[in-house]
Amino acid sequence: MPDDRERARRHLVPHFTRGGAWRSDHLVVIDRGEGCYVWDADGNEYLDALAGLFCTNLGHGRSDLTAAAAKQMDKLAFYSNWGFAHPSSVEAASMIAAVAPGDLSRVFFVNSGSEAVESALKLARCYHLANGDEQRHKVIARNWAYHGTSLGALALTGIPSLRDPFLPMLADTVRHVPNTLGCPLEPGREARELECVTAVEEAIVAEGPDTVAMVIAEPVQNGRGALVPPEGYWRELRRICDAYGVLLCADEVINSFGRLGHWFGSERVGAQPDMITFAKGVTSAYAPLGGLIAGGALVERVWDSPVAMFNHGSTFGGHPVSTAVAVANMTAMRDEDVFAGVRGNEGRLGGGLRELMSAHGCVKDVRGAGYFYAVELMRDRGSGADLTEAEFASLLPGGVLERFVREARVLVRPDSRGAAMLMISPPLVADAAVIDDLLRRVDQVLDRLGGWLRALK
Ligand SMILES: Cc1ncc(COP(=O)(O)O)c(C=O)c1O
């Protein structure tokens, strides 16, 4: 009987993974997890410094979450949210509404972040139809933002390598504008004058304001490396959207459920969106769940109009088991005051990464907030030299940087989209000792990278 690695090569098709990497001997089969650590099938321990994929927020091996799933399966394994409710979806929606910002009180459940974004697109459209604004269908999104892979969500995604193969299939109704990279609020300037702000208004005006349905942005953008917005940015997005009757959606698939030390990243950056999309951490990834939160007035407007319903749905949206896990997950996050731990330790993480930057000339920048950081890489900070194209290609994707990461046994994410970066996003239960371990392992990666770059000279 071939081992799992061999059977994976033969039968399992990986997501976003080059065939060459999958066929190589380095294919890692992750077998079990406990807290902030996972072990592969050969018994090697790794620090899960990406929380799976920005999602195992409470860490691995939580028997309270598995017990909640088993209990719900015994009681009612499935019923749909099409015309019916069940206690776990009601409880999960109520708990989310209780912690959501502003007047956001209505929750529509789906199974993933991409579906959450699709739902935001469609609810925005239904809302405008309900108001008789039939032309409103366009969306303003930001360069390098990742909003998912289904064709609607992919149209919003601003990462060329993900979009290009599918361009003929993508709706040409999305305008991408600059993100907040390199757009700081310098003393003496007002947020409304910033290029990353004026670009949003200019795009709405250029498209024709009465054709624009929605602006979508993450509070802290993942694509291009943990982009923390300048002070006042979200207040300006609110002002612009209000001025043109456009809905504002905060895509919080990563940012919510504690990643930035709060239930929602909107709290952290002072955003007042009309809709929030979420997924990932809502169940700490113990079961697939995503969703859309909207204001009561928005949903009621659709219901009370000739449109009459939110014309969208899926079999498993609001699945009883996933929503039961979400309830257990949120209960634990609240009772264990997990976000206070993030806020208390984020200085240790961010400060430690900045110290690594001082120690390693191959680090260009460290950005982030909460437990969500990017380390951007370059050839040599001293001389200002960036990586050459050939160096970049040897490092990423699937190159030597991945080897250095694997060998340091730290599952950070080598990211090649727009720059060479390491994305770091540990489980929220990572305490000071785990953060120190993470920093030690990242130090090793940077050491290896620096040595490799020096050897090329
Ligand atoms: C901001 C954002 N939106 C949407 C998605 C898509 O989520 P999913 O992979 O669950 O479809 C992601 C995934 O990482 C994301 O980061």
Domain map of the chain by residue range? 4-61+337-456, 64-335
- For residue 277, which atom of ligand 1 is closest to its CA? 3
End-to-end, the C-alpha distance of the chain in Å comes to 47
Atom of ligand 1 nearest to the CA of 252: 1
Q: What's the rounded Cα separation, in Å, for the pair 416 and 317?
A: 33
417: nearest Cα among 183, 226, 173: 226
- CATH number 3.30.70.250 given to 64-335: no
Specify the ligand 1 atom closest to the Cα of 255: 1
* Ligand 1 pocket, mutate which of 57, 220, 253, 413 (most atoms under 8 A from CB): 253
Q: Which atom of ligand 1 is nearest to the CA of 117?
A: 4
Q: Quick one: DSSP state of residue 428?
A: T
- DSSP string spanning 346-378? HHHHHHHHHHHHHH-TTEEEEEEETTEEEEEE-
In angstroms, what is the span from residue 215 Cα to ligand 1's centroid? 17
pTM of the model: 0.98
Q: Whose CA is nearest to atom 3 of ligand 1?
A: 147
Write down the residue that tokens 């969703």 correspond to.
Answer: 291
Q: How far apart are CA 269 and CA 179, in angstroms?
A: 15
Residues 103, 97 contacting (CB under 8 angstroms): no
Tell the residue number behind the tokens 């979508």, with chain if given: 216
CA 303 to ligand 1 center in whole angstroms: 28
Q: Which of 55, 159, 280, 314 to mutate to test the pocket of ligand 1 (most atoms within 8 A of CB)?
A: 280
Model pLDDT for residues 170-214, shown as the tens digit of each residue:
999 999 999 999 999 999 999 999 999 999 999 999 999 999 999
pLDDT score recorded for residue 115: 98
Q: How far is the CA of 114 from the centre of ligand 1 (A)?
A: 6
Ligand 1, atom 8, residue with closest C-alpha: 113
Query: Residue 102: which region, alpha, beta or left (left: phi > 0; alpha: psi -120 to 50)?
Result: left
HSE (side-chain half, CA atoms, 13 Å) at 135: 7
CB 286 within 8 A of CB 55: no
Q: Taking CB atoms and a 6 Å cutoff, what residues make up the pocket around ligand 1?
A: 112-114, 117, 146-148, 218, 222, 251, 253-254, 279, 290
pLDDT digits (tens, 9 = 90+) for 28-46: 999 999 999 999 999 999 9
Distance between CA atoms of residues 281 and 262, nearest Å = 12
pLDDT of 443: 98
- How far is the centre of ligand 1, averaged over its atoms, from the C-alpha of 361 (Å)? 32
Task: Look at residue 81 in the predicted model and tell me its pLDDT.
Answer: 95
Report which ligand 1 atom has the smallest distance to the Cα of 113.
Answer: 7
Q: 77 CA to middle of ligand 1, Å?
A: 26
Pocket test for ligand 1, best of 157, 179, 249, 254 (most atoms within 8 A of CB): 254
In 3D, which of 198, 206, 213, 209 has the Cα closest to residue 244?
A: 209
* Rounded Cα gap, residues 11 and 9, in angstroms: 6
Q: Residue 1: its pLDDT value, please? A: 63
Position 187 scores a pLDDT of 95
224: left (phi over 0), alpha (psi -120 to 50) or beta: left
As its CATH architecture, domain 4-61+337-456 has Alpha-Beta Complex (3.90)
Nearest atom within ligand 1 for CA of residue 53:
14
CA 222 to ligand 1 center in whole angstroms = 10
How many angstroms does the Cα of residue 147 sit away from the middle of ligand 1? 5
Considering just the CA atoms, what is the radius of gyration of the chain in Å?
A: 22
Do domains 4-61+337-456 and 64-335 share one topology? The answer is no
Instruction: Identify the segments of the chain with pLDDT beneath 50.
Output: none
Residue with tokens 């953060």: 435
Counting from 1 in the atom list of ligand 1, the atom nearest the Cα of 288 is 10
Report in angstroms the alpha-carbon separations of 197 from 77, 78, 181, 202, 238: 47, 45, 12, 9, 11
**Nearest-atom index, ligand 1, CA of 280:** 10
Paired tokens of 90:
């009601």
Question: Residues near 186 by Cβ (< 8 Å), separated by ≥ 6?
Answer: none
Centre of ligand 1 from the C-alpha of residue 448, in Å: 31
Kindly list the distances between the CA atom of residue 226 and the CA atoms of 98, 193, 250, 385, in Å, as whole numbers in the listed order. Answer: 27, 23, 15, 22
Measured in angstroms, how far is the CA atom of residue 146 from the centroid of ligand 1?
Answer: 7
Closest residue CA from atom 7 of ligand 1:
113
Residue 217, H or E segment? strand 212-217
Q: How far is the CA of 60 from the centre of ligand 1 (A)?
A: 20
Q: How far is the CA of 117 from the centre of ligand 1 (A)?
A: 8
Q: Which atom of ligand 1 is nearest the CA belonging to 150?
A: 11
Closest approach atom of ligand 1 to CA 115 = 11
